[in-house]
Amino acid sequence: MLRRQSMFRPTALAAAALALVTLLAGCERPPVDSVQRGYRGTSMIQVYNPRIVTPQTYENVVPDAIPAAPSDGPRARTVYKNVQVLGDLSVAEFNRLMVAISAWVAPNEQCTYCHKPGEGFESDSLYTKVVARRMLQMTQTINTKWNAHVGDTGVTCYTCHRGQHQPRETWFRAPEHRQFTRLIGYNADQNIAAPNVTYASLPFDALTEYLLKGQEIRVNGTTALPTGNRQSIKQAEFTYSLMVHMSDGLGVNCTYCHNTQNFGKWEGSPPQRVTAWHGIRMARAMNVSYMEPLRNVFPASERGPTGDVAKVNCATCHQGAYKPLYGASMLKDYPELGRSTSAVAVAAPPAGGAAKK
């Protein structure tokens, strides 16, 4: 009896109210909009916060395209000295693209961000130019080989860069956290607030497992007994880390891709899940074939805590929108980024390039 009374003491009430306020401070303020996305009764509802969507609409406006350039006349490879990727373009098309990438990646420095003043344009002395050449190939690969994900909409440098040298949303490998004493125990890479996993208590280096290594994304076992396909709690936690990253990166909730009655089942999942499946493989391929091999080209100052280069994840392109730039295609105005323009496959560049200006 006494105990019960003490629970309703004003101080206890105040403390409870404070705890509630603190707890809810991380939540989004109502009202929210919800849109039905599945059959009636499946509770497949997409929740949008208009206070997040409205400013995002302004961030996703695409810049005007530069008027098209004539495609006739001599080819860039015959006129210039060191053109390895864009050789098929006419000189006019080539220069138009140089102006465009300056605006997309280095609007303040323009040409000098990749071409050192006083040296010829053919010089590769700045690392930014060496990276940009590889980026041209990466963009062409995305647009020609990954249509299962990017469709005809495709991407340009602007999709990721948005007028900045380095895309806003990238990730590095997390340094290993050593187990200092047996008394505290191993943290299993968890409970360290990391933006990749939306600050949840989930494994913070999960992107390495899926967007670099190709670990299986599974929670449900496929057989009744744990035979060949052991699914551990740890794997489940890694899977959830990726899922919260994907949801956050696209600004959607789980029902955008799942009928949550059964997360593993493909029947009944919206078609977006298939697009996402290809997206996971595409992001991994970009990191393995393009970003990681640039490790020695980037100066140490631009690399992560373990010495790796910044890598691509869902948010690098999507930046919080279900489709990057809400589905607007800039590629249609820059068709040279939608085909392979180099006759020979150019291998990963050697280490080199000057330090950052």
Taking CB under 6 A as the criterion, which residues in 83-112 touch ligand HEC? 83-86, 98-99, 101-102, 105-106, 110-111
Binding residue (CB under 6 A) for ligand HEC from 3, 4, 29, 81: 81
Least distance between ligand HEC and beta carbon 336 (Å): 10
116 lines the binding site for ligand HEC (CB under 6 A): no
How far apart, in whole angstroms, are the C-alpha atoms of residue 289 and residue 211? 12
- Show contacts with ligand HEC in window 193-232 (CB under 6 A): 217-220
* Residue keyed to tokens 């280096």: 205
Least distance between ligand HEC and beta carbon 182 (Å): 32
Binding residue (CB under 6 A) for ligand HEC from 283, 285, 297, 321: 283
Least distance between ligand HEC and beta carbon 17 (Å): 30
- Show contacts with ligand HEC in window 118-137 (CB under 6 A): 121-122, 128-129, 131-133, 135-136
Binding residue (CB under 6 A) for ligand HEC from 44, 160, 207, 285: 160
How far apart, in whole angstroms, are the C-alpha atoms of residue 354 and residue 357? 8
Q: How many CA atoms lie within 13 A of 211 on its CB side?
A: 29
Residue 11 or 205 with smaller CB distance to ligand HEC: 205
> The dihedral of CA 272, 277, 280, 283: what is its sign?
negative
151 lines the binding site for ligand HEC (CB under 6 A): yes
The count of chain residues that interact with ligand HEC, using the rule CB under 6 A, is 80
Q: Which stretch binds ligand HEC (CB under 6 A): 7-15, 48-56, 65-73, 243-251?
A: 243-251
Residue 12 or 61 with smaller CB distance to ligand HEC: 61
Least distance between ligand HEC and beta carbon 183 (Å): 33
Least distance between ligand HEC and beta carbon 267 (Å): 13
- Show contacts with ligand HEC in window 316-335 (CB under 6 A): 316-318, 322-324, 327
Binding residue (CB under 6 A) for ligand HEC from 115, 174, 196, 207: 115
Residue 181's alpha-carbon distances to 184, 185, 186, 189, 204, in angstroms, are 6, 7, 8, 15, 21
| Tokens linked to 185 | 């125990």
- Show contacts with ligand HEC in window 2-41 (CB under 6 A): none
Q: Which stretch binds ligand HEC (CB under 6 A): 18-26, 46-54, 200-208, 256-264?
A: 256-264
Torsion of CA 46, 47, 52, 57, to 10 degrees: 30
Q: With contact defined as beta carbons under 8 Å apart, do 282 and 176 qualify?
A: no
216 contact partners, CB below 8 Å, separation of at least 6: 235
Least distance between ligand HEC and beta carbon 1 (Å): 44
| Tokens linked to 231 | 């699914």
Q: With contact defined as beta carbons under 8 Å apart, do 176 and 188 qualify?
A: no
175 backbone dihedrals φ, ψ, rounded to 5°: -65, 150
Q: With contact defined as beta carbons under 8 Å apart, do 192 and 237 qualify?
A: no
Least distance between ligand HEC and beta carbon 219 (Å): 4
How far apart, in whole angstroms, are the C-alpha atoms of residue 175 and residue 16? 38
Q: Which stretch binds ligand HEC (CB under 6 A): 3-11, 14-22, 198-206, 273-281?
A: 273-281
Least distance between ligand HEC and beta carbon 89 (Å): 8
Binding residue (CB under 6 A) for ligand HEC from 44, 194, 206, 257: 257
How far apart, in whole angstroms, are the C-alpha atoms of residue 307 and residue 300? 7
How far apart, in whole angstroms, are the C-alpha atoms of residue 339 and residue 327? 20
186 contact partners, CB below 8 Å, separation of at least 6: 179
